[in-house]
Amino acid sequence: MCKNTRKDISKEDIDYTYLSLISKKLNVGIIGGGKVGYIKCKNFLSKKCNVEVLSLNFIDEFKSLSNVKLIHNSYYKEFIMNKHLIVIATNDKSINNIIKNDCEEFYKIYIFAEDYLESMAIAPVQRNLKNISFAVNTNHGNPKGSLLLSEKIIDTLKDYDEFIGYSSTIRNEAKIIKEHKKDIINFVCSEDFKYFYDKKKDEIIIEMFFGKEILNKLYKKL
Instruction: Give the domain ranges of the chain.
Output: 22-123, 161-218
Question: What whole-number distance in Å separates Cα of residue 208 and Cα of residue 23?
Answer: 42
- Contact between 116 and 87 (Cβ < 8 Å): no
Segment 136-188, tens digit of pLDDT: 998 887 889 999 999 999 999 999 999 999 999 999 999 989 899 999 999 99
How many CA atoms, within 13 angstroms, populate the side-chain half-sphere of residue 184?
A: 25
Does residue 47 surpass a pLDDT of 50? yes
Residue 40, class by beta-carbon neighbours within 10 Å (0-12 exposed, 13-18 middle, 19+ buried)? buried
Read off the pTM.
0.84
Segment 93-138, tens digit of pLDDT: 999 999 999 999 999 999 999 998 899 999 999 999 999 999 999 8
150 contacts: CB under 8 Å, gap ≥ 6: 125, 127, 134, 136
Residue 82: Cβ within 10 Å count: 10
Residue 87: Cβ within 10 Å count: 27
**Domain 22-123 is found in CATH 3.40.50.720:** yes
pLDDT for 160 equals 97
- At 87 the three-state DSSP class reads strand
Question: What whole-number distance in Å separates Cα of residue 110 and Cα of residue 15?
Answer: 16
